A and B are shown apart, each in its own frame.
Chain A
Amino acid sequence: MTQALSWGQPASVVHARGLTKSYGGPAAVDGVDLEIWAGESVGILGPNGAGKTSLMRMLSCVSLPSAGSLRIFGLDAAKQSRDIRRRLGIVHQEDILDSELTVAENIYIYGRYFGMPRAVIRENSAELLEFAKLSDRADSRVETLSGGMKRRLSIARALVSKPEVLLLDEPTTGLDPQARHVLWDRLAMLKTRGVTLILTTHFMDEAEQLCDRILLMDRGSLRDEGAPQELVTRYASKDVVEIRASGAADVSALAELVGKIGNRMEQLPNRLLLHVDDGDLALRAVIDLGVDPRACLVRRGSLEDVFLRLSGRSLLG
């Protein structure tokens, strides 16, 4: 609470200590300590089964922690979950929609859940339908929507209550590129208005676009965190040379050949990644060794490389 009152310091939105969730077997979330500040946008990355959804559901005050303490907005999540949820917008990994109701009714009833007056919901709803590109489907039953349309509706529905914190579990899975960009723009806009974003994603470009801070999660624990660029510097290099190969044997042979170039090498099933400081220089060296230039590609080091490196080392995955 002291943080909320002192000048210059943003308020604590999430304060978790030893947060744990177990479904009977080994803990899905295992003693997570986490601090998220108002206005931040935080991405949680990790392989399938890492515990991202389990963590998100606890932060959403939907799922009850098995152990540990959790405060959201400075309120105790165990005792004041209702007051907390009033201020959250939640997009679950799997769409939760009322399939027998229409698109407009879905937004309407969700606003009602938050105690919003009918007139206010109707007022907001047109704009949300526009955002979700569902204006012309407002009176269609949800059953009749495509997968991506349902996803867009789920997101629009979470926004109806004008939440202070938005929790999005793989929000863009199933969206076409255009819809993805529309969502990114929207989220960026919300962020400028001070909305805190907490999201999980398997799209590294999305994490790089949207997040100030990335949490790397694996087997229920947070393994590292930092700004996207920090993580790239820490775990990858400025540039990456990618060499396509036709199979594992070919990759090994290539690795033998070019192994001395660059800081580090990553062997994938049919690609070889060279982490280097200067991509063009390294590319020339690779070609000089007799590698077909058409199989080579130079690009910037990215979160994807961080993720691949960490899962390759089995820190993740």
Chain B
Amino acid sequence: MTMPSILVACEHWLLQYRRTWRGTLTSSILAPLLYLATLGLGLGASFDLQVQAHTQRVDYVVFVAPGLLAGWALQTAAEVSAYPVATAMRMDRTYHGMASSPVGYRGAYAGHLAFIALRVAINCAIFLAVLGALGIVTSWWAVVALFVAVLTGMSCAAPILAFSAAITRDASLTTLTRLVVTPLFLFSGIFYPVSVFPTVLQWLISVTPLWNGAELCRQLMTGHADLRPALLHLLVLGCYLLLGTVAAERMFKRRLTL
């Protein structure tokens, strides 16, 4: 796998994206606005909610915004690394075309991951820009949070890509959404602190990529990041990214060199 292979494989997805980016951009701007309106203005303001974030009580919208950023990274990752991957593997067989060229199966998955990273980064940057425009985020640490959000997205995207490359029926993707993506989104401490749960469940949640990502984003954006826990969160995210990439490598090899 070399840099040019990854770049030209990525170029393929960009070529396709050129035709659809306007549509996706609209939803990229609209979705965070809708979430913030419902949760921050609607829920938060109606009940005059304040939430404990570390040592400090903050407005609900300040609590929920960094979590939503990480959650939005997951949503984007799930969207761009599930159906498109399954289609490229079994329907269009785009990957087979790449595997028949110098790009090879390695370039095929690595190039797609690169493109997914770009999509996640664009969506998260827009989300942050919206937060900034609404005055919800003021600290420059948000730029670091952007990096963490993209890493969170990729730590989810790599395993999802491996899974989507392995399946033989599209119905498995619905199962993935229902049993993995949605529960992750709902239970990873985005909307409320996980301290409401029993300890065992908290443990379980603390090894999910989304909780680690959301937690670190929140620490950064509320200005409470400590180095040690931050490194631990990064480590967990890095592990998911690494394991997902290894799984993707194996799946692509198995399916494309048969």
What residues make up the interface of A, taking CB atoms closer than 8 Å to B? 23, 60, 62-64, 81-83, 85-86, 90, 92, 94, 96-101, 105, 108-110, 112-115
Contacts and interface: CB of A to CB of B under 8 A. Distances in A.
Contacts of A112: 8, 11-12
16 contacts: A62-B256, A82-B102, A85-B102, A92-B100, A94-B93, A97-B92, A98-B16, A99-B92, A108-B15, A109-B8, A110-B97, A110-B101, A112-B11, A112-B12, A113-B102, A115-B8
Contact of B15 (A83, A94, A109): A109
Given A90-B100, A99-B92, A109-B11, A63 B258 contact: yes
Nearest to A113: B101
CB-based closest 8 A-B pairs:
A113-B101, A64-B257, A96-B97, A86-B102, A112-B8, A90-B100, A96-B93, A113-B103
Interface residues of B, number: 23
Contacts of B9: 113
A23 B258 contact: yes
B257 to A, nearest CB: 5
Contact of A62 (B15, B16, B100): B100
B4 interface: yes
A220 B94 CA distance: 28
Contacts of B16: 98, 100-101
Interface SS, A side = loop
Interface string B166-185: 00000000000000000000
A110 B103 CA distance: 10
Contacts of A82: 102, 104
B96 interface: yes
Contact of A114 (B15, B94, B102, B258): B102
Best-buried of B12, B19, B92, B97 by chain A (most CB within 10 Å): B97
Interface string B63-104: 000000000000000000000000000001110111111111
A105 B15 contact: yes
Contact of B92 (A60, A64, A81, A100): A100
Interface of B: 4, 8-9, 11-12, 15-16, 19, 92-94, 96-104, 256-258
B257 A62 contact: yes
Given A98-B12, A99-B92, A101-B16, 15 more contacts: A82-B102, A96-B93, A96-B94, A96-B96, A97-B92, A98-B92, A100-B19, A105-B15, A109-B8, A109-B11, A110-B101, A112-B8, A112-B12, A113-B98, A113-B101
B12 to A, nearest CB: 5
A63 B257 contact: yes
A101 B97 CA distance: 13
B23 to A, nearest CB: 14
Contacts of A85: 100-102, 104
Contacts of B94: 96, 98
Contacts of B258: 23, 63
A193 B254 CA distance: 37
A50 to B, nearest CB: 18
A151 to B, nearest CB: 15
Nearest to A84: B102
A86 B107 CA distance: 14
A108 B16 CA distance: 13
Given A96-B93, A98-B12, A109-B12, A60 B100 contact: yes
B134 to A, nearest CB: 36
A85 B16 CA distance: 24
A276 to B, nearest CB: 46
Best-buried of A64, A81, A83, A115 by chain B (most CB within 10 Å): A115
Nearest to B14: A109
Contacts of A81: 104
Nearest to A158: B100
A101 B15 contact: yes
A85 B5 CA distance: 13
A86 B8 CA distance: 14
Contacts of B104: 81-82, 85
B48 to A, nearest CB: 49
B250 to A, nearest CB: 13
A121 to B, nearest CB: 11
Contacts of A64: 257
